[in-house]
Amino acid sequence: MSLTRLLSAALPLLLAAAIVPTAQVAADAPFITLASTTSTEQSGLFRHLIPHFTERTGIEVRVVAVGTGQAFTIGRRGDADVLLVHHREGEEALVANGFGTERRDVMHNDFILIGPRSDPADVAAAATIAEALKRIFEAQAPFASRGDDSGTHRKELELWKETGLSPGGRWYRELGSGMGATLNTAAAMDAYTLADRGTWLSFRNRQEMEALFEGDPLLFNPYGSIPLNPDRFPWVKADLAWQWHEWITSTEGQELIGSYLIDDVPLFFPSLER
């Protein structure tokens, strides 16, 4: 009987030990919530940047990485303190409608066209991205679209608009997935896909895929920082968020962005705008 009593006393203690520490996670250090995109987080940029910011200011940065569409939703609902996204139109609309205080250029990278090494649609030989996409369309080569209203997805749709073509049919596969998942699926399907360079460079499951087309100015992908408006959302940590906003557009922040390399290749190009 006593062994049972011992165990039945021990179990609640065990549980308590497991549960109690959760309470400590409460705000010890000051922090801000940064809503950004999955592609940005997956590139590893934040791990490179944030420790320096925290060291300089003592402010922690909690990154919620979602699709661009959801990041804007978070912005409109006031569930974060500052945004870092890559869709200029949406960013400007957010500020124009009073959800965000202002928009600043932070950095840019570019999108590249990924595809199977065999390149059945011969996009490597195309002169422009529009031509490359046209070749895929005509060859009806499998194409994996993110289909999730993300920045990448919106860019892809704009590019298709440029070609004047409407993609559809069995070869055009809308996945509704993040960048990493889309790349996984494209690799498995031997499909073409549009990806941001950052995610591609840190992606580990390339299989037979290669970067086949890049460099067209239309593939330019600018990032903007938008602190949320404290007049609209009184609970927002406006001061702390502003410090971040200033810092990543400062010399120090910008230099750090430019110094983030994967395999000796920089992922992002700082805007150096002040």
Partner 1 sequence: MSLIATGDPTLFSIVQLSLQVSLTAVLLASLIALPLGALIALFRFPGRGVVITLLNALMGLPPVVAGLIVYLSLSRAGPLGQFGLLFTPTAMVIAQTLLVLPIIAALTRQAIENLWEEYREQLRSLGSGRIRAIPTLLWDARITLTTVVLAGFGRASAEVGAVLIVGGNIEGVTRVMTTAIALETSRGDLPLALALGLILLVLVALINGTAYLLGEITSRNMQ
Q: Residue 225 and residue 249: Cα distance in Å, rounded?
A: 9
Residue number with CB closer to partner 1 (139 or 181): 181
Site residues (CB under 8 A) for partner 1, limited to 126-185? 177-181, 183-184
Can residue 24 be called a binding residue for partner 1 (CB under 8 A)? no
Can residue 21 be called a binding residue for partner 1 (CB under 8 A)? yes
Query: Pick from 13, 25, 29, 127: which binds partner 1 (CB under 8 A)?
Result: 25
Residues binding partner 1: number (CB under 8 A): 39
Residue number with CB closer to partner 1 (78 or 120): 78
Q: Residue 31 is encoded by which pair of tokens?
A: 């922090």
Residue number with CB closer to partner 1 (137 or 200): 200
Q: Which of 186, 207, 105, 176 is nearest to 141 (CA)?
A: 186
Q: Residue 184 and residue 11: Cα distance in Å, rounded?
A: 43
Query: Pick from 125, 158, 188, 235: which binds partner 1 (CB under 8 A)?
Result: 235
Q: Residue 136 is encoded by which pair of tokens?
A: 């895929």
Query: Pick from 233, 242, 262, 266: which binds partner 1 (CB under 8 A)?
Result: 233
Can residue 1 be called a binding residue for partner 1 (CB under 8 A)? yes
Site residues (CB under 8 A) for partner 1, limited to 39-78? 42, 46-47, 62-66, 76-78
Please list the residues that pair with 173 across neighbouring strands. Answer: 144
Can residue 83 be called a binding residue for partner 1 (CB under 8 A)? no
Shortest approach of partner 1 to residue 127 CB, angstroms?
A: 31
Asked whether 68 and 84 are in contact (CB, 8 A), the reply is no
Shortest approach of partner 1 to residue 4 CB, angstroms?
A: 5
Dihedral over Cα of 25, 31, 35, 37: its sign = negative
Shortest approach of partner 1 to residue 62 CB, angstroms?
A: 5
Residue number with CB closer to partner 1 (63 or 218): 63
Q: Residue 199 and residue 114: Cα distance in Å, rounded?
A: 12
Site string for partner 1, 177-206 (x = CB under 8 A): xxxxx-xx-----------------xxxxx
Can residue 9 be called a binding residue for partner 1 (CB under 8 A)? no
Please list the residues that pair with 107 across neighbouring strands. Answer: 223, 270
Cα 136 from chain centroid (whole Å): 26
Angle between helices 238-248 and 45-57 (to 10 degrees): 120
- Which residue is it, tokens 């993609």? 167
Q: Which of 77, 69, 26, 254 is nearest to 176 (CA)?
A: 69
Kind and range of the H or E run holding 19: helix 2-19
Q: Which residues bind partner 1 (CB under 8 A)?
A: 1, 3-4, 7, 11, 15, 18-19, 21-22, 25, 33, 38, 42, 46-47, 62-66, 76-79, 177-181, 183-184, 202-206, 233, 235
